[in-house]
Amino acid sequence: MTKRIIKSDNYPRPIAPYSQAVVAGEFVFVSGTGPQDPRSGRVVEGGIREQVNQALNNIKNLLEEVGSSMDDVVKVTVFLTDIGNYGAMNEVYRSYFAENAPARTCVQVARLPGDILVEIEAIARLRQDSGRQGKP
């Protein structure tokens, strides 16, 4: 099985030696993203709701670019710097995964790069009918 490295202008640029996403077989593995606007590189203004929304939008945009979607997500990991934000995070999260939510892990961490409040990573299936099949 080969792997394809995905580079997208619709996803925040890596700040360390990692890929934005990797396609392997019929899955796309999306690296953790925070609330950075991919165009400006800046963290969105606001609190946890705005940050979760931006992080999930980043994932959504990348998935659509490679021939997948939020409906194809099978596993999500959410990292929060304050588990007290769990309820607010879920309010936004629910709007992206209203039905048939993927498996998920949510943990509190001591700190995230750039002192952001949330980082989210995802694993999704590639659509079989997609002509792009994981092309960057």
pLDDT digit string (tens) for the chain, length 136 residues = 789 999 999 899 888 999 999 999 999 999 999 999 999 999 999 999 999 999 999 999 999 999 999 999 999 999 999 999 999 999 999 999 988 999 999 999 999 999 999 999 999 999 876 544 444 4
Contact criterion met (CB below 8 Å) for 12 and 36? yes
**Which pLDDT belongs to residue 133?**
45
- Structurally, at CATH architecture level, domain 3-125 sits in 2-Layer Sandwich (3.30)
Taking the whole predicted model, whether its pTM rises above 0.85 is answered as: yes
The single-letter DSSP state of residue 125 is E
In the chain, the N- to C-terminal Cα span, in Å, equals: 17
Q: Of 63, 64, 77, 69, which Cα lies nearest the Cα of 105?
A: 77
Phi-psi sector, 25: left (phi>0), alpha (psi -120 to 50), beta: left
**Which pLDDT belongs to residue 98?**
86
Contact criterion met (CB below 8 Å) for 127 and 23? no
